[in-house]
Amino acid sequence: MFVALERLINLQDGYRRTFRVAGRELLLLVVEQQPLLLENRCPHQGAPLHNATLSGRVLRCARHGVEFDLHSGQPLNARCPALSRFDLAYDGDRIGIDV
Ligand code: FES
């Protein structure tokens, strides 16, 4: 089932918004014109990521400063699991997720 999150026209660099879908907190953001959908939870110790700092394609969690490469999802400066990412789905002028 497709769950719409946002209208495509609203997706621009700097976009960042959280959604709750099927009991999960998701973070939709646009980086270098590319929409990305992550779990809004740092794999290091569970802090929310919606206030993380973004520098190019590197996302830095505000809690302990672990940095993640948004390309691979892998941590760059600590040992912890990779970011949880979700595939985006499209329907007409909406972007969303298949659940
Ligand atoms: S919880 Fe994100 S860096 Fe520790």
- Residue 90's DSSP bridge partners are 95
**pLDDT at 16 (0 to 100):** 97
**pLDDT at 85 (0 to 100):** 96
- Pocket (CB within 6 angstroms of ligand 1): 42, 44-47, 61, 63-64, 66
Kindly compute the dihedral angle of the four CA atoms of residues 31, 95, 47, 78, in this order, to the nearest 10 degrees: -50
**pLDDT at 56 (0 to 100):** 93
Three-state helix/strand/coil letters over 30-44: EECCEEEEEECCCCC
User: What is residue 81's DSSP assignment?
Assistant: P
**pLDDT at 31 (0 to 100):** 95
Domains and CATH numbers, the chain: 2-98 (2.102.10.10)
Q: Which atom of ligand 1 lies at the shortest distance from residue 42's CA?
A: 2
Q: Is pTM beyond 0.85 here?
A: yes
